[in-house]
Amino acid sequence: MRPPTRPGRVIRGGQSCDHSRMLTQPCITRASRLAVFTFLALLASARPASADLTAFLGVTPTPESRTVRGVAGGLGLIIVAFEFEYATTSEDEIEALPGLRTWSGNALVQTPIEIAGVQLYGTAGLGAYREQLADARETSTAVNLGGGAKIRVLGPLRLRVDYRVFRLNGTPLHETYHRFYAGANLTF
């Protein structure tokens, strides 16, 4: 048989709780204690975010093979990371090959741990570009999709290899660019 309750009192786990005095005498239920314990356990075991910088050199075969160079900087959580990237390919007026500059913000989905020193990732991004050949210029938005790997070399130094496909909006001379690169990646 349950003990009688007064208005404003609730029986929880055999203990009474007076909700009318919540500010001075809070009720702590079993579920509340479990929620606080779970939150503190997750907080204590959380892996800190990591950041990295990459300087890269690569090649774009669009429309003919040329050098591309750039930098990227990012912040990563366990599986998801975000980065900003800038890359440039020089113009060649003699061969009528346009120069291309891209700026993009990318989201990466990556393996949570390195496997044999390798962390794989897939990426998608949105940004802007400027394609230029002589006096002709086009500046608009671009999307990119790709993937790659970060390979541990020594300590915080990793080799990063990457492949991306860029789709240029607007009226560029070439709507789709492919890019392959390798770079030095420093994680901290």
Let me know whether 97 and 23 are in one domain.
Answer: no
As a whole number, mean pLDDT of residues 80-106 equals 97
Say yes or no: 91 and 128 in one domain.
yes
Structure tokens at 72: 């990227």
pLDDT mean over 36-45: 66
Same-domain status, 37 and 60: no
| Residue 38: predicted pLDDT | 75
The stretches of the chain forming alpha helices (DSSP H) are 30-45
Residue 4 counted as domain residue: no
User: From residue 102, how far is each of 39, 59, 65, 73, 128 by CA, in Å?
Assistant: 41, 14, 17, 14, 6
| pLDDT score of 86 | 98
Number of domains composing the chain: 2
Query: Which of the given ranges, 8-12, 78-82, 139-143, has the highest pLDDT on average?
Result: 139-143
pLDDT of residue 36: 81
32 lies in the same domain as 125: no
Instruction: Assess whether 175 and 107 both reside in one domain.
Output: yes
180 part of a folded domain: yes
82 occurs within a structural domain: yes
Q: Are 185 and 53 in contact (CB under 8 A)?
A: yes
Q: Is the pLDDT of residue 93 over 60?
A: yes
Summarised one tens digit per residue, pLDDT across range 162-183 is: 999 999 999 999 999 999 999 9
Domain holding 32, by residue range, is 9-45
- Whether residue 133 is predicted with pLDDT greater than 90 in this model: the reply is yes
